[in-house]
Amino acid sequence: MGVKRQEPEVLRCAHCGDPLPPTPISELIAGHIKQFCCSGCAEVARLIHAEGLADFYRLRGQEGAPRPPSAPPDYTAWDGADWLVPYLRTVEEGRLGLRLGVGGLRCAACGWLIRQRLLNIPGVERAELDMLSGALRLVWDPAKVRLSTILTALAELGYTPILPGDPKAAEQARAERRSYLKRLAVAALGSLQAMMFTEALYLDFAGTMPLPTRDVFRWLAFLLTTPVVFYAGAPFLSGMVRELRLGAPGMDTLIASGTLAAYVGSLIETLRGGPHVWYDAASMFVFFLLIARYIEFRKREQARGLIEAIAGAERRPALRVRPDGTLEAVDPRELVPGDIVEVPIGELVPADGSLLTDADMDESLLTGESLPVQRRAGELAHGGSAPVGSSVRIAIQRPHDLSTQATLAHLAERALAQRTPESERAERIAVGFVSAILLIALLTSLAWALIDPSRAFEVTLAVLVVTCPCALSLAMPAARSAVLTTLARRGIIAIRPGALTNLARADYALFDKTGTLTDGAPQLISVRKLDNTSPDEAVAIAAALVGSTTHPLRNAFGPSNGRKAERIRYFPGRGVDGLIQGKLYRLGHGDFVLGSTTLRLVRVRAGLEPLAEFTIEDRPRRDAVEALRALKALGLRIEIASGDAPDRVKALAGVLGVDRWKAALRAEEKFALLRQRREEGHRVLAVGDGTNDAILLAGADVSIALAEGAALASRSADFVLLGAGLNRIPEAIRLARRYRRILRQNLGWAIAYNLIALPFAVFGLVAPWLAALGMALSSLTVTLNSARLLERPASAGGRRG
């Protein structure tokens, strides 16, 4: 599970929870002195207390909070913007609604804080946050408050508004969810009531009920069943029409024809006063199948919300610099060559552009390179890379859609389209089965029309009901929804659930290195003494120098043991310098520290005096070794496919005990490697996190992306791993294999049951009510068998890390 590194001695910022820099900001808030890492955090804390929202700090527990920007960007460009129009909706007159993504959410307390803060703004009527998908639903009165005011309030707290995904899709999903609920309610109430009346008819064994009463009950049951069949059952009816039009009868055809047969047959019997009606069979059937459909729909919804949140991270507004130097937030697609944009630390560059200053750029998501790359002013900053240490400004050279990241996205989409569609065997079996049943039912009715026309209908109905694909149609969704629930509980969300069977069959695993096998945080491996300064002291000095920056190296050196650096200056691409106890030190590489290739600490006096050299490496995730061992035990071969330098990849492969590795691969080369492995006959599982892994993930038989990586990677993968924890990959495979086994049992049972029951039904030995009972029991068996997947099989057998 997501194990956090504990550094108990480190003092943490009272707001964001990051370790305090050597010179924290102290602030008297609500009678207590609190320490903050930066003025931004202090400002937010003051704001939160002033708004009476101090409960936030109690509610959030150990969680941190996002660090706010030094000055919130100007969102006035969002007021009445053309590009926002499709996302807006008029709730009632004079009220506007908008569905927004929110970046920076950590826990439920964040949701609480946002809701409280926004509802305090006059004119904001609703602010509902769905923590699951990170979606914020806003309703406000544009006459009282402007959207930019609301968004600024959100940004002041440190949360970023994210442009919503396709607004139509979200709207459609909402409408679908609502109609499902209504259909379910109608089916539940209608079928129970209809059951009540038909039950009375069934219990009339001796036929003592007066005929008028019987007919009244029948007509009442008819009245109650009609909306169930035609309103609640509409999805099946329209599904049948669609399937028949395509010439491929499937599940819906069988369900709808079974329902309609029972319904129309009952109606005929009611009209002519025949001995039996089967209204209850028709309505119960719709009800049960609707439940299965709804469960599946919810699972898909969940995954969709996640995908949207992930995709939304890419659509963060870009900060364009106005001629007067102020910032405005704009849609990245609006950027044109020549625009100047500012990119805050850690945010992604929205489009390819040339740097206006020297900068260290983190290109790990694009190339897999684990350490920041030095870029000089005028060099290209690739869309999708992120500045480290200080924010940068770039002059846009290419539109967003033609930028590096967008190009890789395009390649990934193509790879995804080329992949052979996931064809579930269960589905194919079902279609064949359905066609056979319909044929048999037809033949039976013809035969009985010759033998005994008065029983022809009843027998045909029994055939249809007894074989009714309930068990068969439940076999897959029930098992699938159980396994997806279990996976989701362990933090693995299925983007494409169809890939479950491929996950069970995978026999080869291609792993990305940076950010996947390693956690992307550099670690100090060794210190080399260059004079008589002790290594501990050198590390502490270095820690003090980088402690107040946001450079990833900050974490490598740990706490500074009380040393404080003053007048720290950051030189992008070179290093930092600062005064510690009156002495000037520099930390960096290259000319800055006498031409060293590795990171070196020097003391500046008359000249530069080297003190120590540090070796910094990306370190493997703590459970990487264990996870890879478990994968090998499951029969998978492991290979590392990295874009990083060969020596670093080799070192890591050694540590992890992996004998196959390839380094310095570009995105296309990773894909070529994948194709080669597939041609060798392997079913390849790809695991990655970067934009450069996207094509690999999209093209593999089955793929898992780490949610904390690039949005594009998650979108191209079949499964997304929330939080860290490589251990869950072997668990997922074990679960997928179990799913496959249970699916086979389910199908076997459903088909065996049908094969046994069918002859009896064909020869007229099964009454429709008995058929309905058999069907229900069969479905129950399948459902209960699937429910076994809800248990925790992996943790029962194996250890958990």
Binding site for other proteins (CB under 8 A): 55, 59, 108, 111-112, 115-116, 119, 125-126, 128-132, 174, 177-178, 181-182, 185-186, 189, 193, 213, 220, 223
CB nearer other proteins, residue 109 or residue 580: 109
CB nearer other proteins, residue 298 or residue 792: 298
Closest CA to 543 of 599, 593, 500: 599
Q: By the 8 A CB rule, do 139 and 90 touch?
A: no
Instruction: Please give the Cα distance from 323 to 123 (Å, whole number).
Output: 32
Q: What single-letter DSSP state applies at residue 145?
A: -
Question: CB of 1: closest distance to other proteins in angstroms?
Answer: 21
Closest CA to 675 of 691, 658, 698: 698
CB nearer other proteins, residue 126 or residue 632: 126
CB nearer other proteins, residue 130 or residue 379: 130
CB nearer other proteins, residue 111 or residue 350: 111
- Residue-wise DSSP of 373-428: EEE-TTSEEPBTBEEESS-EEEEE-S-GGGSHHHHHHHHHHHHHHHSPP---HHHH
Compute how many other C-beta atoms are within 10 angstroms of the C-beta atom of residue 735: 25
Question: CB of 182: closest distance to other proteins in angstroms?
Answer: 6
Instruction: Please give the Cα distance from 31 to 470 (Å, whole number).
Output: 66
Residue found under tokens 């006096």: 605
The sign of the torsion formed by the CA atoms of 415, 417, 418, 421 equals positive
- Joined tokens for residue 297: 């729909």
CB nearer other proteins, residue 193 or residue 523: 193
Instruction: Please give the Cα distance from 585 to 574 (Å, whole number).
Output: 13
3-state DSSP call for residue 59? Answer: helix
3-state DSSP call for residue 586? Answer: strand
CB nearer other proteins, residue 148 or residue 191: 191
- Joined tokens for residue 738: 């179990």
Question: CB of 467: closest distance to other proteins in angstroms?
Answer: 32
Question: CB of 614: closest distance to other proteins in angstroms?
Answer: 45
Question: CB of 310: closest distance to other proteins in angstroms?
Answer: 18
| Alpha carbon 154 to chain centroid, angstroms | 23
Question: CB of 632: closest distance to other proteins in angstroms?
Answer: 38
- Joined tokens for residue 61: 């527990």
CB nearer other proteins, residue 187 or residue 705: 187
CB nearer other proteins, residue 98 or residue 652: 98
Which amino acid, 391?
A: S
Closest CA to 362 of 353, 373, 349, 354: 373
List 763's β-bridge partners, or say none.
Answer: none
CB nearer other proteins, residue 129 or residue 775: 129
Q: By the 8 A CB rule, do 703 and 694 touch?
A: no
